[in-house]
């Protein structure tokens, strides 16, 4: 495994403190809890520096989308997203590229990893080091020729193995990452196309795993927190004290929540299997990207129990096509990536990264 190209690009992170009204208030502490103002191989952008204003007129030309909510265009099918600075890092699943995307600016490739992008494998997800401001490290969930694994990427060096030997199959290779404390990394693994293995205790397939001190490198011993995962969707920290997990099984799509005591509950199920994928935590629950339903679902949870008792609200439905990765953006919107070149109906500017604001007043139905 080699990093083919790592660009030294300054990635400054200025945390937004925007709190939106109603059920779409996004909790900034959940999106970037540990490291304000990180950099990656370049100069830091501090909070006192003035950012250039966004253009009020959309440019024209190839791969320029007329929709001002579109951040990046003409990408390969996207995977995980993570907010950073005034933009986000986005993974391309099949190419192994990691791109920095910022509104009104061309996407910039900052790294490329050798991956096996066949089936649903490749570069699945990204997570920033809790000390990203100082070390510029990025963690990635990838598929190789022999397994699925977690690696750590540093500018100018090869990927460092963190967790290897996650089973690989013809399908079910997608995985997800999320730091829940500075010393605790959660790893969501797919079932590698074998639903029975997901319940078996002797395999890393189909599990939510906890890794303590992943910065120590290879040889870490993961703890199994949740079993029975089908096709892995995403894992994201709850705005209160737990984590949300999405996955897809042969009979239903699910949103599960793991509490601080590691007790898991099934918060919501979709028997119609809309293709749950990435998730982004909000103050009132979680936003879930839907691939088959081509929408973003806002799932509202009870403030005290975190139980979900009302059907999710769909918005931006059929506006951008199949949605996949999701992250709370620096502007208070949910930033999502599309996968229309991967089983959808791609338009001339696909695939894209898009900012989806909540409906006016925090409610409402599909757009």
Least Cα distance to 77 among 99, 56, 62 occurs for 99
**Model confidence pLDDT, tens digit, residues 159-179:** 999 999 999 999 999 999 999
pLDDT for 50 beyond 80: no
pLDDT: which is higher, 271 or 156: 271
User: Which value, in Å, is the radius of gyration of the alpha carbons in the chain?
Assistant: 19
| 3-state SS class at 227 | strand
pLDDT for 238 beyond 50: yes
The Cα–Cα gap between 67 and 259 comes to: 39
pLDDT for 57 beyond 80: no
- The reported pLDDT for the residue numbered 159 is 94
- The reported pLDDT for the residue numbered 146 is 97
**Helix H or strand E segment including 5:** strand 3-6
Residues in the chain: 367
Confidence class of residue 220 from pLDDT cuts 50, 70 and 90?
confident
Of 30-44, 55-69, 286-300, 302-316, where does mean pLDDT reach its minimum? 30-44
Going through 56-189 in order, the beta strands assigned E by DSSP cover 70-72, 78-84, 87-92, 97-101, 108-113, 123-128, 138-143, 148-153, 160-166, 176-181, 184-188
For residue 219, the tally of other CB atoms under 10 A from its CB is 9
Confidence class of residue 204 from pLDDT cuts 50, 70 and 90?
very high
Of 30-39, 129-138, 225-234, 252-261, where does mean pLDDT reach its minimum? 30-39
pLDDT for 21 beyond 60: no
Report residue 115 as tokens: 């991956």
pLDDT for 3 beyond 70: no
pLDDT for 6 beyond 50: no
Confidence class of residue 61 from pLDDT cuts 50, 70 and 90?
low
What CATH number does domain 24-43+67-362 carry, 1.20.910.10, 3.30.70.1290, 2.60.450.10, 2.120.10.30?
2.120.10.30
196: Cβ–Cβ under 8 A, 6 or more apart, which residues? none
Report residue 283 as tokens: 């103050």
263: Cβ–Cβ under 8 A, 6 or more apart, which residues? none
- The reported pLDDT for the residue numbered 284 is 83
Edge-to-edge, what's the strand order for the sheet holding 70-72? 70-72, 353-356, 334-338, 323-328
Confidence class of residue 272 from pLDDT cuts 50, 70 and 90?
very high
The Cα–Cα gap between 286 and 242 comes to: 12
Percent of the chain at pLDDT > 90 equals 71
- The reported pLDDT for the residue numbered 304 is 86
Of 3-12, 17-26, 306-315, 330-339, where does mean pLDDT reach its minimum? 17-26
**Model confidence pLDDT, tens digit, residues 185-198:** 999 999 999 999 89
**Model confidence pLDDT, tens digit, residues 321-341:** 999 999 999 999 999 999 999
- The reported pLDDT for the residue numbered 135 is 92
Tell me what the mean pLDDT of segment 254-260 comes to.
96
Least Cα distance to 237 among 49, 82, 7, 355 occurs for 82
Report residue 140 as tokens: 């990635």
pLDDT: which is higher, 47 or 275: 275
Measure Cα distances from 208 to 172, 183, 201, 262 in Å: 14, 16, 12, 11
């Amino acid at each position: 495994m080699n990093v083919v190209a790592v660009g030294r690009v300054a990635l400054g992170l200025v945390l937004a403190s925007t709190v939106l009204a109603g059920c779409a208030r996004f909790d900034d502490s959940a999106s970037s809890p540990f490291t304000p103002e990180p950099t990656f191989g370049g100069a830091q952008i501090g909070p006192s520096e003035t950012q250039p204003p966004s253009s009020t007129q959309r440019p024209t030309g190839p791969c320029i989308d007329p929709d001002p909510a579109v951040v990046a265009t003409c990408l390969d099918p996207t995977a995980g997203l993570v907010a950073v600075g005034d933009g986000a890092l986005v993974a391309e699943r099949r190419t192994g590229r990691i791109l920095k995307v910022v509104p009104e600016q061309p996407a910039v490739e900052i790294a490329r990893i050798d991956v096996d992008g066949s089936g649903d494998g490749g570069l699945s997800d990204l997570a920033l080091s809790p000390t990203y401001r100082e070390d510029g490290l990025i963690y990635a969930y990838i598929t190789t020729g022999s397994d699925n694994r977690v690696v750590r990427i540093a500018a100018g060096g090869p990927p460092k193995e963190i967790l290897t030997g996650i089973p690989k199959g013809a399908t079910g290779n997608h995985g997800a990452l999320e730091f829940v404390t500075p010393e605790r990394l959660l790893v969501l693994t797919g079932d590698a196309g074998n639903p029975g293995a997901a319940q078996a205790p002797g395999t890393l397939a189909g599990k939510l795993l906890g890794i303590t001190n992943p910065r120590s490198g290879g040889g870490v011993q993961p703890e199994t927190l949740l079993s029975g995962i089908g096709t892995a969707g995403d894992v994201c920290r709850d705005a209160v004290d737990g984590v949300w997990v999405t996955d897809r099984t042969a009979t239903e799509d699910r949103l599960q929540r793991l509490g601080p005591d590691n007790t898991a509950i099934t918060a919501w199920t979709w028997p119609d299997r809309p293709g749950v994928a990435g998730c982004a935590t909000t103050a009132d629950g979680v936003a879930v990207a839907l691939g088959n339903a081509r929408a973003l679902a806002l799932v509202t949870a009870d403030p005290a129990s975190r139980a979900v008792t009302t059907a999710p609200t769909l918005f931006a439905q059929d506006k951008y096509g199949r949605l996949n990765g999701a992250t709370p953006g620096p502007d208070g919107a949910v930033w999502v990536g599309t996968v229309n070149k991967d089983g959808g109906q791609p338009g001339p500017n696909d695939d894209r990264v898009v900012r989806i604001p909540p409906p006016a007043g925090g409610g409402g139905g599909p757009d």
